[in-house]
Amino acid sequence: MSKSNPYRFQWKDLGNIEEGRPNLGNQVNVAVYRLMQYTLRDVLNRHLSVERSRELLREAGKLAGTEFCNNILDRLLPFNQFVAELQEKLQFLKIGILRVEKTDFEKMEFILTVGEDLDCSGLPPADETVCEYDEGFIAGVLEVYTGREFEVREIDCWASGERTCRFKATALS
């Protein structure tokens, strides 16, 4: 840990999955992932406020997006090629299908969608967005790539009755 990085987690902490799971491999059912995420969310909500839980999920997502970008993506690519690589990796890893709907480089604002989202596609309607972890993940990726901090908020969600998750990403000053 350092002042610039207060977290202990590093990409290498994921371990050697091939060695550790020679028979089961690196695939897991989406329901198992959601079981972990939604039970963790429920416990956080019980012990903290719902808003604080959402903040922590965003923070964890941002850490994940930062590590993902630093270890999986080529940060030196031009923007369109970087996005294409990000799309390919997210789909290959079965996280979701990323699309960029709008880019405004002058304002550093982006509208992104993630279809077949790992976190919520197929959930019953709940009249709320639930993809705070994804908000943080996208913010972390964009921050590493651009060198600027981003606020990312979900504006449409499967859980709120939409058919895709839509995020607005805005660079902070």
Q: In the chain, where are the structural domains located?
A: 11-171
Q: Please, are residues 130 and 119 in contact by the beta-carbon 8 Å criterion?
A: yes
Distances (CA, A) of 166 to 3, 7, 60, 95, 112: 33, 28, 19, 15, 6
pLDDT value of position 1 = 62
pLDDT at 33: 94
**11-171 belongs to CATH 3.30.1380.20:** yes
pLDDT value of residue 170: 98
CA dist 97 to 28, 71, 112, 123, 166, Å? 18, 20, 10, 17, 11
Write out residues in the chain with pLDDT < 70, as ranges. Answer: 1-3
Given a contact cutoff of 8 angstroms between Cβ atoms, the answer to whether 98 and 87 are in contact is: yes
What is the reported pTM?
0.94
pLDDT digits (tens, 9 = 90+) for 122-154: 999 888 889 999 999 999 999 999 999 999 999
